[in-house]
Amino acid sequence: MALKFIDQADLTDKKVIARFDFNVPLDKNDPSIITDTTRIDEALETIKYIFNNGASKLVLMSHLGRPDGKPVAKYSLEPVAKYLAEKLDTDVVLSESALDRSIKTLLNLGETKILLLQNVRFHEEEEKNDREFAKKLAEYGDIYVNDAFGAAHRKHASTYEINAFFKNRAYGGLLLKREISALSKIVESPKTPFVAIVGGAKVSDKIKIIERLLSNVTHLLIGGAMAYPFLKASGYDIGTSLCNDEDIALAKKILREKSGHKIVLPVDHLCSKEFGGEPQVVENRNIPEGLMGLDIGPKTLDIYKEKLSGAKTVLWNGPMGLFENETYSKGTFGIAKILSDAPSDCFTLVGGGDSVSAVNKAGLASKMGHVSTGGGASLEYIEKGNLPGIAALRFGLE
Ligand code: AMP
C-alpha cells in the first residue's frame, strides 16, 4: 500500500506529534550558535503546513548530537527552539525533558501551540527503539508525522517503534516526500547516461553502494581518498596516501566484477609530503614515495568533465580531496561547478554531508536537481530502496 503523506491527512483540531531532523552543527566554542540552519529551514514547510491546515497543537521532536542516553547540556535543543520561534514568529516552548510531566498539562490546557521536546537521545530508550518509551511519546499526539529524512535509516523509538501506536494515523512529511521523489529518479529507472561520482575517505562504508551502482551506471568516477585503494589494487604506487589493506582487498573485489570496467580512476594528483602541507602536482597515476595524494589533478578533472557531458542522471557523494583546505579543494569545487552547469535535462542529485557542504559553500545548491538532507540515509535508500523510518510508516497500512 502506498505511503501516506501529511497533505492527505485531515488535521482539523488534531494534536500532531512530528519527528524532524534538527541535528544541526553548533559552534564549537559557543554551542548556542547554529552554524548551518539548513535542516531546520527544510522542516519549516511541513510545520507551516500542519498549522495552516487546522491542527490544534504541534509537538516537535528531534535528536541532536550523540549524548549517549543521558542529558548533556551542549546538546540541548534550546538554540533550535529559539531559531524556530524566530522563523515562525510564535512562541516555541522547549520541555525540560521528552518525558516531562508538565507536557500533557500544557497540551490539554495551555495556550501553547508549539512544543519542542528536549533531545530524545537524552533517554537511552530512544536508540534502543524501546516500546514503552515510544508509547509515552505517542501519547502526546493524535497523528504522527515523520519528516526526519536524515534519521530515517535509524531504527529508533521516535522514528520506528512509535508508528505502532498510530495505525492509519502515521504520515510522511513534505521533506520526506521530496527526498523520496528525488531518490526514486536514481533508484527506479534512472535516465541514461547515468554517471555516479563517489569520493570521500572510507571504501568500506561505501562498498555496498558502489556495488549496487555499478550495475546501473554508465561510468563510476572515483575521487578523494577513496581512489587510492582502487589505484593500489590496479597496481599503481600511491606513496603515503590514506589507504589500508582491508580497503585494497574490497577494491580488488569490485574491480574484478563484471561491471568493474565502468570505474574511472584519477590520472594525476595534487600531493604533499604531509597532510595539508605544500602542494605538488604529480602528472601521472603513480604517486612517488614520500608523497600523499590530497586532491585529484587538473587532467583528471578534465576527464571527469568529459565523462559527465551528455549525462542525463548524475549522483554525487563524497568530496574529491581534502576540500576543507582551500589548496586541496579544486577537484571538489570543480565537480560542483561542472554539475551546476549541466543542462536542464540532466537530473543531478547530491547526497552526503561533505559534498552537500561543498555545494553550499560554493553557493551552487540551487543549481542542483536535488540536494539531500541525509547523507547516510540517501546512500542507504539508494542501496536498499527503503529505510526503516519509511517502512515503519506503513505499519498500519497493511
Ligand atoms: P566521507 O565521510 O567518506 O565522505 O569522507 C569525507 C572526508 O574525506 C573529508 O573530510 C575529506 O577531507 C576527506 N578526504 C577526501 N579526500 C582525501 C584525501 N585524498 N586524503 C585525506 N582525506 C581526504
Residues designated catalytic:
39, 202, 353, 376
pLDDT at 293 over 90: yes
Q: What is the Cα–Cα distance from 155 to 135, expressed in whole angstroms?
A: 15
Please give the average per-residue pLDDT across 366-391, as a whole number. 91
297 lines ligand 1 (CB under 6 A): no
- Regarding predicted confidence, which is higher, 36 or 80? 80
pLDDT at 289 over 70: yes
Which pLDDT score, from 0 to 100, does residue 28 have?
86
Q: What is the Cα–Cα distance from 58 to 125, expressed in whole angstroms?
A: 23
Closest CA to 59 of 129, 128, 8, 110: 110
Q: What percent of the chain has pLDDT over 70?
A: 99
Which pLDDT score, from 0 to 100, does residue 109 have?
80
Closest CA to 137 of 163, 171, 162, 116: 162
Q: What is the Cα–Cα distance from 174 to 47, expressed in whole angstroms?
A: 9
Ligand 1 centroid to Cα of residue 389, in Å, is 28
pLDDT at 134 over 90: yes
Ligand 1 centroid to Cα of residue 123, in Å, is 32
Q: What is the Cα–Cα distance from 155 to 227, expressed in whole angstroms?
A: 32
Q: How confident is residue 1, by pLDDT bands cut at 50, 70 and 90?
A: low
Helix (H) or strand (E) holding 17: strand 15-19
21 lines ligand 1 (CB under 6 A): no
76-87 per-position pLDDT tens digit? 999 999 999 999
Provide the strand spans (E) within 86-235. Answer: 92-94, 114-116, 143-146, 170-172, 194-198, 219-222
142-178 per-position pLDDT tens digit? 999 999 999 999 999 999 999 999 999 999 999 999 9
Question: Which ranges in the chain are annotated with CATH 3.40.50.1260?
Answer: 6-177, 189-384
Check if CATH label 3.30.460.10 holds for domain 189-384: no
- Regarding predicted confidence, which is higher, 97 or 355? 97
Provide the strand spans (E) within 165-247. Answer: 170-172, 194-198, 219-222
Ligand 1 mutation pick, 198, 322, 335, max ligand atoms within 8 A of CB = 322
Work out the number of other CB atoms within 10 angstroms of the CB of residue 162.
27
Average per-residue pLDDT for the chain: 94
Q: What is the Cα–Cα distance from 312 to 331, expressed in whole angstroms?
A: 22
Q: How is domain 6-177 classified at the architecture level of CATH?
A: 3-Layer(aba) Sandwich (3.40)
